[in-house]
Amino acid sequence: MVARGRPRSFDIDQALDQALYVFWEKGYEGASLPDLTRAMGINRPSMYAAFGNKEALFRKVIERYSATHSALFAQALAQPTAREVAEHLLKGTAGLCSDRGNPPGCLLVRGALSCSEAADPVREELVARRAANEAAIRRRLERAKSEGDLPIDSNPADLARYLSTVMQGMTVQASGGATRAQLQKVVLTALRAWPS
Amino acid sequence: MVARGRPRSFDIDQALDQALYVFWEKGYEGASLPDLTRAMGINRPSMYAAFGNKEALFRKVIERYSATHSALFAQALAQPTAREVAEHLLKGTAGLCSDRGNPPGCLLVRGALSCSEAADPVREELVARRAANEAAIRRRLERAKSEGDLPIDSNPADLARYLSTVMQGMTVQASGGATRAQLQKVVLTALRAWPS
DNA sequence: ACTATTATGTATCGAACGGTAAATATATTG
DNA sequence: CAATATATTTACCGTTCGATACATAATAGT
């Protein structure tokens, strides 16, 4: 498969990164095509030729976002104890949510929490990805419990949901202007609920 | 001040309630004027005559929403101990977030978490109201601390932010389909972080 | 050089957006 | 019964939305 025709004048991944930033800040529906193409440095037909349409672009952006951040996620789940898993997840989220280089909070939450019917497929995709992340935490905690790393009366599903809730809440906090130091204190408080 | 001219054919508060429901479900930008006027049972010029424009309508809806729910809020803050304040806030939020009669979660979070620049004033209004609610919790906990109802080494601001974070996280959870039972378990876990 | 293929730039599409002008309907006041 | 005042209805405004048709530019293969 050799390249034919006029070569593309922009880098796909670089353009996706620019689009990511816009979607992250404004959400799926809040980001207009002029917003996106301006940030990407291309014009509309080039975007449609390369990515299909707005929704397909968003899905590719989400895919890229997840791939980038799954490393941090996987690293947290790879911690030796459940307690350290929780710590890494919460502290990592606090760090991400207060990274001045990015819009505040998590794209999976900000992307389409509420929207018009037209964006429902996108909203459901984000719901599914949040659920998948929570399920991954739950499975890790189930393993921890079977290893005796969590008390016999603890509930991995409940703990996973609690962690997800606090992480998602941090996105709202960050969107409201919470600082890194403030989020880190939230993490310390939240960890006091962890079974010992 | 006596009524003159043709009388209004609809009830203002009832129309606001219908608009509330639409904004609650779709957010400020996701709710279109046809969505709103259809739910309100009136046509566009009547809406503009009665409320001004879409943003003014939203602000009146928010005002009404806050007034309705401030009762629940005030009741929680009126609990005798800090522990009971936290319990009431979290359990009340879990109940509200999983009320099948309403869209899932809190309007102050769902209304405009991320949006286009055009909706920034509305987003900032919601940020301010969330901050005001958190400040009210903080003041109640400061009082509790001064009354010896909270440990001397506890931090009311941090605890208030933690409660806000969990409550806001529950809105995201509810938007993702979490059930009442699941949210109640989140509350029980979250309360284990509470200082004794 | 010529053809085939792909990307880009311009100019535009129909639909939906928030918002209104103007005419008509329904009430109170004198 | 006018005269006045407000509400509703219809039809429409200009703008922005996501998405494209079409002509032009730039590459590879023969």
Shortest distance between the Cα of A9 and any Cα of chain B, in A, equals 29
| Cβ-defined contact of B191 to A186 (cutoff 8 Å) | no
Q: What local confidence, expressed as pLDDT, does residue A147 receive?
A: 96
For the beta carbon of residue B58, count every other beta carbon within 10 angstroms. 27
Say which nucleotide is closest to residue B28, CA to C1' distance. C18
For residues A161-177, give the mean pLDDT.
98
Whether residue B2 is predicted with pLDDT greater than 90 in this model: the reply is no
- Residue A86 corresponds to which tokens in the numbers above? 């929780």
CB contact under 8 A, A32 and B116: yes
Shortest Cα–Cα distance, B6 to chain A (Å): 35
At A20 the pLDDT is 98
Q: Is the pLDDT of residue A134 over 90?
A: yes
Q: How confident is the model at residue A2 (pLDDT cuts 50, 70, 90)?
A: confident
Q: What is the pLDDT of residues B150-168, one digit of tens each?
A: 999 999 999 999 999 999 9
pLDDT at B4 over 90: no
- Mean pLDDT over B172-184 rounds to 98
Spell out the SS3 assignment of chain A.
CCCCCCCCCCCHHHHHHHHHHHHHHHHHHHCCHHHHHHHHCCCHHHHHHHHCCHHHHHHHHHHHHHHHHHHHHHHHHCCCCHHHHHHHHHHHHHHHHCCCCCCCCCHHHHCCCCCCHHHHHHHHHHHHHHHHHHHHHHHHHHHHHHCCCCCCCCCHHHHHHHHHHHHHHHHHHHHCCCCHHHHHHHHHHHHCCCCC
DSSP B147: T
Range B162-190 average pLDDT: 98
CB pairs under 8 A between A and B: 152
Percent residues over pLDDT 70 in chain A: 99
Kindly report the bases of strand C lying within 7 A of a protein C-beta atom: 4-12, 16-22, 25-29
Mutate to test the interface with B, among A189, A191, A196 (most CBs of B within 10 A): A189
| Residues A77 and A149 sit within 8 Å (Cβ to Cβ) | no
Selected residue of B189, B191, B192 to mutate for chain A interface (largest A Cβ count, 10 A) = B189
Q: Report the distance from CA of residue A5 to the C1' of nucleotide C5 in Å, as an integer.
A: 4
Cα separation of B119 and B127, whole Å?
12
Is the per-residue pLDDT at A84 higher than 90? yes
Q: Closest residue to D19 by CA to C1' distance?
A: A53
Residue pLDDT, tens place only, B70-107: 888 999 999 999 999 999 999 999 999 999 999 999 99
Test B116 with A30 for CB contact under 8 angstroms: yes
B178 to chain A: which residues are within 8 Å by CB?
161
**Burial class of A13 by CB neighbour count within 10 A (0 to 12, 13 to 18, 19+):** exposed
Nearest nucleotide (CA of A54 to C1'): D18
| A22 CB-near residues (< 8 Å, 6+ apart) | A31, A35, A36, A39
> Quick one: CA dihedral B65, B71, B72, B77, positive or negative?
positive
Structure confidence by residue, pLDDT tens digits, A13-64: 999 999 999 999 999 999 999 999 999 999 999 999 999 999 999 999 999 9
Among all protein residues, pick the one whose CA is nearest to the C1' atom of D17.
A32
User: pLDDT tens, B33-54?
Assistant: 999 999 999 999 999 999 999 9
What are the angstrom distances between the C-alpha of A38 and each of A7, A21, A22, A64? 20, 12, 10, 20
Whats the size of chain B, residue-wise? 196
Q: Indicate whether A1 pLDDT > 70.
A: no
- Is residue A4 very low, low, confident or very high in pLDDT (cuts 50, 70, 90)? confident
Provide the mean pLDDT of chain B: 97
Over 80: is that where the pLDDT of A105 sits? Answer: yes
Shortest distance between the Cα of A53 and any Cα of chain B, in A, equals 19
Cα(A129)–Cα(A90) distance, integer angstroms: 18
Distance CA(A153)–CA(B20), nearest Å, equals: 42
Contacts of A33 in chain B (CB under 8 A): none
Is B61 a residue whose pLDDT tops 90? yes
The four Cα atoms A75, A77, A81, A86 give a dihedral, to 10 degrees, of 100
Residue A66 confidence (pLDDT): 97
Q: In this complex, which of A116, A158, A165 lies closest to B173 when CB atoms are compared?
A: A165
The residues of the protein lying within 7 Å (CB) of strand C read A 4-10, 42-46, 49-50, 116; B 2-7, 29, 31-35, 44-45, 48, 53-55
Identify all chain A residues contacting B115, using CB atoms and an 8 Å cutoff: 26-27, 30
Largest CA distance in chain B: 64
At residue B3 the predicted structure's pLDDT band, cuts being 50, 70 and 90, is confident
What pLDDT, on a 0 to 100 scale, did the predictor assign at position A3? 73
Examine the pLDDT at B189 and tell me if it is beyond 70: yes
pLDDT tier at B110, thresholds 50, 70, 90: very high
pLDDT at B58 over 70: yes
What per-residue confidence (pLDDT) applies to B46? Answer: 98
